Structure 1
């Protein structure tokens, strides 16, 4: 027959134990794998593994765990202290699984040092715990009148002290030592109630549960007697010591047992007394050894000094700090280990503790004689008193926070300084400006703010690569740093924007503005000198916006905004210049913001429409139309394209508008395809660089042509020379795709940009359009006529159709024909108007419409 709870049973029919688990690290808690963990949890797991038991953890709060055990809903409950009350409610085995005691934990600045100091205090305790029972009896005995803050677990007790809801928390020393530091709490010198902890069962356990507890007693008895048993390995794992990690409870219990034995066996009194003395001596030695083990494993420097400031005790960590042995340190003062300044400062604080009884918490920067590098310590020093209350020594605990302070310093630097350039960052600049603006009435802080932007930096960055782009920014920062005077501050706002705060200018506003402009011109001149980046010689220019302190009140944001507006004005006026902020600029910006806001509304409500302007040949026959974008706002009326198109391009709205232009143009071409007179007419639309380079441009164009069933040969795309400064090979590839579809491409505003002969030869173009600025003045300016002649000759030699834009007089038309230009566009020949209106006018005069053979390229 196999008895329940034996190993044989576990093989054939494993015993399942329902174990109550409440969160009380390091003694017992649920691990990440869902198994019981901690000191007690690991011991139970080892016994269960040896016996073949299956432990089924049941998670619960302390009080609910006891209720579950009492009602038989769980089989076992660990970490239960035996009290008379509990002996009447639960079944306890013979052998305790652990020895513990209770400890009071307080905030670092608390001065509680004895149980009597708890009078009138708020104490957080675990509901129905042994701590509550003990403190309740103590309260009645000494009339301490403290108030209990009852909680469901120890964690809530520590949180209550941290939040100021309680003055102290009473927990087991295991939990407190393991968790108190997480809540900025420390152990008060108040220990009480040494306790044996058991694995308890229901008052009337089943035979299998009793058998299991007997097996547990057997393992614990055997393991405790073996120095290298699993019991001590688990203790070492969770307490850092191969021993129990505490001595007072065992001493107290042994004393109690010996005294009990002495009372019962009075005739052996002398023998028992001798044994007690011997055992006490042994226990004291063990206590000292264990205490040293604990103190030497603490990551802090612990020491005791006497009234002469000589060291009487130091832990191993202190020896490691000084590089000396305990024998070389005991009996000596700080002068033997620290430099004179450090020793003097330490002595002052030590005297405060010894002579005034103060408890000192201080951050100390100390320098050892063996090292020139200072160390930063967080030190706590408190007086030690004898039985009569006289101070006889001090105890100090110092933690090395040098690395923490170094990291804190680095984080502080990162918070206020730019990583790439090393210059002050935006946060630093704003703080500096706020301080200066607060003192603006002082004659020494009249000043200006300059925002410096590198022109065309994005193109440079794309050309050189980001690594060399960063190197260029570093060199710019270096020049700015060397340019600043002691009264100036330079920094980096981000990307390619830098800033200079010019202070201590002239008190007279006009003189101050002139002085600021002079200094920014010096900055611009120095920054425009060549840079050597990698193997490249790089030239850059800068656009600078300048705002005077006196022009913006005391608002730093307004100052930054003013300088930014001035900088963007400088860029809009051609870059490479300096602009001083004024109210007119603000009005322009406000107007631009207003237009941008209304533009977004216009895109959403489709307020744009197209007009078309014809292109004629020398026979005054219309050969093509150009679609021109117009915007009619319901409140503002017609808004000039020259006013809203640049804003649309800068704000990114041109992508959405450009898509709508393509769709409206295809709608017009679909209508023309059904007309005998109009089916041969091409419609040209302008494509911005941003729209052309967008990844969705070609797919959207293809989809729109298919959706409206438009012949691609009737569509012409006009691009500008600005597009050609991008990735030229990628542009050619995209244009070739469009040409394969039958779409023709013309180069608009030719002569005003970057196109070279080599570019023109490679581009799959069908048409060149002479910019109207040359046509307008060609009759009065011989240089303009030379340019027009050159463009016509170039186009004819390359086999391209050349169209003169901006023809406004008969004299211009006649002269263009004389110099071999045969295609024209302008107000003299036809003003832009709705396509329906042109259809109506020209359909009745179809002789003015060119046939297929008269069209360019036929």
Structure 2
């Protein structure tokens, strides 16, 4: 603790001296600043193009807005923001009616009509957006070939897309649009995907392809020398003072967006399922980056812990083994035994390997046993430093001569013998060395980052590189920071007080005599600011997830089983708060919620933090469970405070999941997952907003994961199979039809009932693919019967979900499939559920009329399960009503219930509707329905669902 204080003080002294010695420069800068014009600059912006977001109640925000604010510090400009479309913005800039417009890429054509600054203001990927429920997979080239791509005219990325198509050997058709509602047009199927830059925010979409990255600029009118001079001057000084300004701003606004995290392709999913484990070779003794604990023998260190997280994200188990490097080489036996190599790459057999993206960039430091002038020609020793990193070092310090060693011990020996002036060393390794070595070092920071990545064995498929890179891209910054903190700041070192005083005696003496009192206050403030970067959530002022993990571990290390509970809270529909009210209002709601969590039971909420977006977590005593739950589920004060921000009509609701901590020693991440699993069971549902975690929930979530991961492969491999349940005339019990049902023969889970997967598919949109697949399979089946010469094929009904029913051009697609297999549409019946009719009634009526117009019969399934049954009879142009089996079983046992059923049948008859009763299981039910003049029966009493071959046999036999 004292040593850290001393180090911070030394750094502060250097800063004070630098400020004093550079006062003339500051005065010169101030003179230059004042020479610039203080004027109002008109900035055109394109709504939802995330560099400048829509103005909220208290002003603008966004990457571009913050960038322009920074520019204003050097130019004195004030801004007037002008909302416009892309075409209008280009026109206004050409005419000089606005001063700045962007972002835009620089091209030869644009340079003829606009002026661009010398420095770019960011980098943007060209991407293809698709509706999140479209079922389109990432880089599904089979689908891409021939698809419709929406885009604006004069879109820079059209040429990039053309090159992508050429490289991939595909063709696409462009659909030009200037709509402000791209999300709606994607949903309605006007085009399959939309081409734009990844900075654009389009609700309810996902990225299905990522093209090349391109720098972008904010342009000005041709010849506007005042604006271009101001931009160049400001940008030059911004990067001079902080070369990572752009990177920091990008991380603030874009790093946590799903769009910045690539998706997994169908081919990669298959490879993950086949790959059980990967062997990772790492260094055995390179603390604190990667090493094997001498007591436990387990792999440890910053790199190792991060790679474990990469393995968890990818779904592939990593097994770590030590690798020994001798004389700059690694044995063939060792190399053959590993799949991935996590050590430095300056080893002869490894130089030809392919490598992943960096999972960590370690800051490097120059240390020496004497004072240095880094502008001098110096001999610097480096160890285990590969050619990529050496190239970076040579570029930054071309005057240095480099000497290489294999280990830090060898490098230290070279330094001690004065065979080198300095040593280049990773910052985290220096922390370790400083705590355990007796020498005093002079330390110099650098801008060099040591790139830590994974070498990939040539025996692995090329797709493994993409899988690992995408997993690395999904690393959570909070998790990485926690890992670094755990492996550095929280480790215990055996350093004597006498050594501490001896090593720093001159510093202590100087501080005591001159700066002690003043610097102590400044250092404390500096330390608080430093900690706040990592440990304080900027939106709420509360603890970050990284701080929560550390504090929770400390609290639970001494806890008893079931003493505490971990609670996870989400604001329902928070995304729409941001979309409708603006990000500023959304942040205010988050702050209100954070404050209210701490006020639920003052003193009883032990730890709180904002996990991400609108997700908060806290730990409290289990004995207060009921009080906490009651307070959270009906917090009228919270709702009132939120209404002050969003208006009196807004009714805030929460989803809450809790995990009773039975095993306090468990990993905090696992506990967070358990609470989230419980929360998901009540998310978006009416009623009790709170759920406690049970092991069954985890099993259900695991089942959902397996179902989701396997659904695409299931369709490709023909795992979804059809069966048919016959329908009979109640008048003479003759076979008059059948309903097609689906089952999933899952390779791991066995035969799955549709009740297990249909609701999930309706949530994730995959139901559209399945519906169309089953419809086509049914047409193939009828074609087979037709070709076999069967003459009395009954009408076959196929279910179409409410999601698929809203599919653009559905009726045309169904008609085309029927024609493809030469099927008369009168042989087919389309079943839609009553629940579909509760919304968009006029649209559904139009779809039903269109289905009937091309010859399909239409039936309303599950009639009686909703609340609008009687009212829809007069409005819906359907042909058939199917009485819900649950409704039938619940009402059939009473005289009153039978009268209701009889009334429905009678009313339907008067409207010329055919009546089908589902779920008939007894002779008594059949006889009663026959007496009521019900037309058709379906149920176990007559026949169970059967394979197509068995039903074909029934057709042949007429029964």
Q: TM-score, normalised by structure 2?
A: 0.42
Q: TM-score, normalised by structure 1?
A: 0.47
Q: Which has the higher contact order (CA 8 A, sep 6+)?
A: 2
* Larger-gyration structure (1/2): 1
